[in-house]
Structure 1
Amino acid sequence: MKHIGLSFGVLLILVGCSFKTSLEPITDQYTTPNNIATIETISPEMFIYQHHYDNMDRGNHDYIEKPLVIEPLVDGYKISRGDVIFFHTTNEEKDISRIVALPGEEIKIIEGQVYINDKKLDTFYGFAHRLGLEKDRYFEMMDDRNQYNNNGMREYFDTNMDQIKLASDEYYFIDDDWMRGKMGVIKEQDIAGFVLGYIE
């Protein structure tokens, strides 16, 4: 009888630990906001790209202030969550965006918050913002000005997206400023390179 009670107790602890783990958010310890590296030396295979759109602007003219250094994607290079990628659109235009979900993962958005495999993506690029401002700070600032579409912006900050599952060769990207940018699935073969930072 003691063994049954002990086994049941261990089972409860294991279930509790498993439940706790399943609720823990996904974090990104390596990617930081508003901290774009400055590259002093580039190798022959790297190239310079001047981005002219504010889809990645977090309030400091991010990624459009100076020319960017792009490192081409080579076989065997691991694409990570948080990477800013360089790619060609279906219209053969050049663009950049940020990887938020990886192959095989499930992604959804609930009221402006990204969830990966039902876990909250707890990082600066995991939720809707406007020019780097979170929802509460944005409305606090704009209410003082009293000249904006309040209802429209509340809909924006409460963006929802049904869950989708990525294939083994698919990633999900979201521009840093959702309002000025886009989000979607991209095949690994369509990723041309990575944004390393600004050219010195």
Structure 2
Amino acid sequence: MKKIFLIGLLVLLSACSSKVASSGMETITDNDTKPKVELVEPYESSLLLEWHIDNMDRGDHDYETSSHPDLVVDPNDKNVKRGDVIYFKSPDFTIDSNPNFNMPEFYISRVVGLEGETVEIKNGQVFIDGKKLDTFYSAALNSGMGQEEYFEKVEPANRGEEESWKEYFATTMEPIKVEKNTVFVLGDNWWRSADSRYFGVLPMENVEGKVLGYKK
């Protein structure tokens, strides 16, 4: 009887696991990348970068050097992993909805998708190979706030058209395959960012270095 019970339990667990997988509930986590931008001591070869664009702002003017010290970039570290913020030469592209947009020659964004993976955005949430990416940079946010928190904390007079924000928080992007020697990048503040949603995957040859943090 005990043996039959154990077999039944294993079958049940297997069925549950299959159900979770088939329903897209599997997740990929990033427990190594921390939300806080660290203070770091520059190396002799480090680049010091002034950055005045709010594409990475999560509520504390993150990565903006008008509110924080210069950014330290390691030009010798091209071994990027998911979660890294990189400094890169901007690809040539145009945004159909904003043909007058002028992309800076160099830009910073966070690596989200790696070579061989497929990245998709559904209802404001990033998925990697069909699995939910569960981390602080994997969803549509405004200054670090999701839709519910944003509508709760920000007064209507200060947040603009409600339907436009709802549409933003439900951002969708068709699957993009990350080709060999490329990465998929996103800004942390999507609505203020020009990234792989617009120009596709980023060739690794465009990467100038890894952003390590603020200058100590």
Aligned in 2, Cα 1:12/1:97: closer, same or farther, shift over 3 Å?
Answer: same
Kindly provide the CA deviation profile for residues 90-137 of structure 1, in whole angstroms up to 9, marking residues without a partner as x: 367121100001000011101100000000011111000000111100
User: 1:37-186, aligned counterparts within 5 Å?
Assistant: 37-40=38-41, 42-64=42-64, 65-74=68-77, 77-90=78-91, 93-145=105-157, 148-184=160-196, 185-186=201-202
RMSD: 2.4
2:211 is equivalent to residue 195 of structure 1 = yes
Which stretch of structure 1 is more off in the superposition, 112-121 or 142-151?
A: 142-151
Percent identity over the alignment is 37
Runs of 4+ residues over 3 Å off in structure 1? 6-23, 143-147
Kindly provide the CA deviation profile for residues 24-67 of structure 1, in whole angstroms up to 9, marking residues without a partner as x: 2111101122x111113x22221101111111111101101220
Amino acid of the structure 1 residue aligned with 2:33: T
1:20 Cα shift? 4.6
Contact residue 73 and residue 191 of structure 1 kept, 8 A: no
- Matched residue of 1:192: which SS? strand
1:78 Cα shift? 2.7
Aligned in 2, Cα 1:156/1:147: closer, same or farther, shift over 3 Å?
Answer: closer
Name the CA distance, whole Å, in 1 between partners of 2:32 and 2:7.
Answer: 41
Name the CA distance, whole Å, in 1 between partners of 2:76 and 2:202.
Answer: 14
1:146 Cα shift? 6.2
Unaligned 5+ residue runs, structure 1?
A: 1-5
Give the number of aligned pairs.
191
Unaligned 5+ residue runs, structure 2?
A: 1-5, 93-103
**TM-score of the pair, normalised by structure 1:** 0.85
- Matched residue of 1:107: which SS? strand
**TM-score of the pair, normalised by structure 2:** 0.79
